[in-house]
Amino acid sequence: MSETVILVVEDEATISNFICRALVSAGYKTLTAPTGREGLTLFFSHRPGLVLLDLGLPDMDGLEVLEQIRSGPEEETAVIILTARDRESEKVKALDMGADDYIVKPFGVAEVLARIRTCLRHAQRLRSAEGERRERYEIGDLILDTASHQVFAAGREVHLTQNEFKILELLCLHPGKVLTYDFIMRRVWGPYSGGGNQILRVNMANIRRKLGENPSEPKYILTELGVGYRLLEES
Amino acid sequence: MKKGLCRLRSAVPSVAWDMAVAVVLLALASLGCWLLLQHTGAENNSALVYVLAVVLIARYTSGYGYAVAAALVAGFCTNYYFMYPYAQFSLELTGYPVAMLSMVAISLVVCTLTAQLKIQAEEAVRREKNTRTLYELSERLGREKTAIQLEKDREAIRSSILRGVSHDLRTPLTGISGAAAVLLEGEGLSERDRSLATDIKNDADALITMVENLLSVTRLQAGDTAIRKEPELLEEVAGDAVMRFRRRFPEARVELILPEEPVSAPMDALLIRQVISNLLENAARHSGAPETIRLTISRQGELAVTEVTDGGRGLTEEVLAAVAQGRDLAASAGGDSSRGMGIGLAVCRNIVLAHGGTMEAENRPGGGAVFRFALPAEEMEASE
């Protein structure tokens, strides 16, 4: 873990300063860039393991930086977006463009570190090809068996409908990652599923009730307001 | 004279006026012819005089009718009174029929042409009037548009300044809170430094909440279009608010109680989350019993209802009255204990009102306070 280099692209010195200190004391190496251009230069010369990217940069749009990072050969590098609160569409866009996660300003140190850990684990799993479809997923005490079409939560069998099962399976396929409403809608209901995602919300509410889950104390599924859902991993 | 005629004309009904014009002109023509007859005898030009009268009648009456009638009368009169044999209608003398018919024909053609000219002239006048009206209208619209645009621009500038300030406050505050958190996580801090760093972090976090409230208000003030309402599950919004709240108030305890069937309402999720956060924070700060907070979601008829209750000391008359009357509390509330409560509640009320909802507060019979807000609920689709 101590070998992981994290590139922080953030124009506010105070913020990049406290992030870097927290990262260093957590055992990471850091690089900082106050502009998008410097960020890209450092990215291509140092090949960091993870990038924290602020979307509000002085010289270029953060999404543009993301696009250039994603167009290079370093596809598996995790990118976490730092963004302001009232920009749902920006978050969704960044996720669609290949960002692994996002953190909303104002954020705390603990949150940043937790997200980084999840992302790095994700990236490692991706490299070891564990992220592919499997017959059985075990995430915490949630077990999903695609062969027998069974779901167990805390040792108790849970009966889900076809679509509820598909949603949960999709989330299990990407543990720890935010899946946008659109992404889930397309994968479960098909590309012509229409505009609204109300049906997904209702299904999710039913899944929660069947899993015995309260959204204020999520054990399995986390709501990302206005963006989508995320399956929680133990961290 | 002309003015007088015009005034007279507008006073008299148009049929009577036209009739009068025709009769008077024909009478004048007849008088003229009679005078001519005294001087010239049989070789008079009474036909031409009558043609002139017919042309004038065509000009000064509406439509063809009067002129055509006048032409026939004139033809008859010429023949009857002013041609040999006098006072007798005759078509027997050579040339008389041709003269008669030509006269009538000329009169008819001329009056048709005149009538057409008149219609065209009237059309031109009308068009000009329309054009002028349109021009004036567009000028006035332009002026009003400029005024509206100015007002809009002013409003936009005001809220963009406020938003800019809020954003600029948020970034350094994030830095302060983050730096304090890094200090707190480190080892080797003395008890005194640890308590100071905790104060820095807590106050920075409280200021961040304040800035969030300011941002919400600017979003509301930017006009109705700024609120993008989408159907959201109330439990997801509430769950998110509670999770955030726990991070900031780890010592408080909140229980989220869900209805059997999920409740959905069209809303701006971030603004409603702000309402719930503010109510939870009020309960944690001011109830004196932050470990007894309950957040309940229910559906009551057409309403999606969210309730925050606590088992604390209850609300003062002042707070109850302010919420009931929709007054702002900030100015009236005294004492340090309610610092920030007024702003939070005002923001809540504005957000709920902007969603077409209602908010109320009361003391529970068993002790403690209830804040309740209701939004118009959305019908849920079938789940498959």
Dihedral-angle region of residue A225 (phi above 0 means left; psi in -120 to 50 means alpha; beta otherwise):
beta
A214 touches chain B (CB under 8 A): yes
Residue A82's closest CA among A131, A60, A115?
A115
Bridge-based pairing state of the strands A78-84 and A50-54: parallel
A90 pLDDT band (50/70/90 cuts)?
confident
CB contact under 8 A, B243 and A202: no
B379: Cβ contacts below 8 Å, ≥ 6 apart: none
Chain A residue closest in CA terms to B168: A12
Binary contact (A105, B179; C-beta < 8 A): no
Instruction: Give the DSSP letter string of B36-88.
Output: HHHHHTTS--HHHHHHHHHHHHHHHSSSSHHHHHHHHHHHHHHHHHHSSSTTS
Instruction: Pick B254's closest partner by Cβ from A86, A202, A216.
Output: A216
Q: Do A105 and B380 touch (CB under 8 A)?
A: no
What pLDDT shows up at residue B306?
Answer: 95
Question: Would you call B242 an interface residue with chain A, using a CB distance cutoff of 8 Å?
Answer: yes
Mean pLDDT per 10-residue run, chain B (384 residues)?
Answer: 64 80 86 80 72 82 78 79 72 71 79 81 92 92 89 79 77 86 83 90 86 79 68 93 89 91 91 92 86 92 93 84 73 50 81 90 88 89 50
The whole-number pLDDT of residue A191 equals 79
Please give the residue of chain B at the shortest CA–CA distance from A108. Answer: B178
Q: Which residue has the tokens 């009206």?
A: B133
Which residue, among A201, A204, A224, A232, would best test binding to B if mutated, counting the most B CBs under 10 Å from its CB?
Answer: A201
Nearest to A14 among B172, B247, B384 (CB): B172
Kindly report the number of other CB atoms within 10 A of residue A199's CB atom.
Answer: 19
Alpha carbon separation from B355 to A227, B220, B267, B268, B279 (Å, rounded): 21, 10, 7, 8, 17
Beta strand residue intervals within B154-263, DSSP E: 230-233, 254-257
- pTM for the full model? 0.69
Chain B hits for A218, Cβ within 8 Å: 239, 243
Lowest mean pLDDT among A180-189, A191-200, B23-32: A191-200
Residue type, A172: C
Share of chain A above pLDDT 70, in %: 91
Residues of B with Cβ-Cβ distance to A211 under 8 angstroms: none
pLDDT score at B51: 81
Cα B131 to Cα B137: distance, rounded to the nearest angstrom: 10
pLDDT tens digit string along B324-363? 877 766 554 444 455 556 678 888 888 898 899 999 999 9
The residue of chain A nearest to residue B179, with distances taken between CA atoms, is A18
To the nearest whole angstrom, how far is the Cα of B273 from the nearest Cα of chain A?
9
Nearest residue, CB atoms, B182 vs list A21, A161, A201: A21
Nearest to A109 among B178, B215, B256 (CB): B178
User: From the DSSP assignment, how many helices (H) and strands (E) are in chain A?
Assistant: 8, 12
In this complex, the residue of A105, A110, A225 whose CB is nearest that of residue B269 is A225
Q: Which two tokens stand for residue A95?
A: 């996720």
Q: What is the pLDDT of residue B95?
A: 67
Residue at B251: amino acid letter: E
**Cβ B101 vs Cβ B74: under 8 Å:** no
Distance in Å, alpha carbon of A12 to nearest chain B alpha carbon: 8
CB contact under 8 A, B240 and A218: no
Taking an 8 Å cut-off on Cβ atoms, the answer to whether A17 and B175 are in contact is yes
Fold held by B228-376? Heat Shock Protein 90 (3.30.565)
Give the β-pairing of A101-105 and A156-158: unpaired
Question: What is the per-residue pLDDT for B299?
Answer: 93
Q: Do A86 and B270 touch (CB under 8 A)?
A: yes
Q: Is the dihedral of CA B279, B280, B281, B283 positive or negative?
A: positive
Q: How far apart are CA B234 and CA B71, in angstroms?
A: 88
Q: What is the pLDDT of residue A41?
A: 93
Per residue in A95-152, pLDDT (tens digit) is 888 888 999 877 878 888 988 988 888 776 665 545 566 788 888 888 899 888 899 9
Please tell me the distance from the alpha carbon of residue B73 to that of residue B69, in angstroms, as a whole number: 6
Closest-CA residue of B relative to A104 is B174
B189 at interface of A, judged by CB pairs closer than 8 A: no
Chain A contact for B376, CB < 8 A?
A: no
Q: Does A131 touch chain B (CB under 8 A)?
A: no
Q: What b-and-e string marks burial along A105-118, b requiring 16 or more CB atoms within 10 Å of the CB?
A: bbbbbeebbebbeb
The predicted structure's pLDDT at residue A234: 66
CA distance B346 to chain A (A): 20
Kindly identify which residue of chain A lies nearest to residue B226, measuring between CA atoms: A86
Contact, B252 vs B246, CB < 8 A? yes
B174 — contact with chain A (CB < 8 Å)?
yes
- Whole-complex ipTM: 0.84
Domain parsing of chain B, residue ranges: 1-226, 228-376
Environment class of B64 (CB within 10 Å of its CB; exposed 0-12, middle 13-18, buried 19+): middle
Contact A215 B264 (CB under 8 A): no
Average pLDDT of A80-90?
78
Residue B43 near chain A (CB below 8 Å): no
Domains recognised in chain A with CATH numbers: 5-127 (3.40.50.2300), 136-231 (1.10.10.10)
Cβ pairs A/B, distance under 8 A: 124
Chain A residues with CB under 8 Å of B384 CB are 161, 163
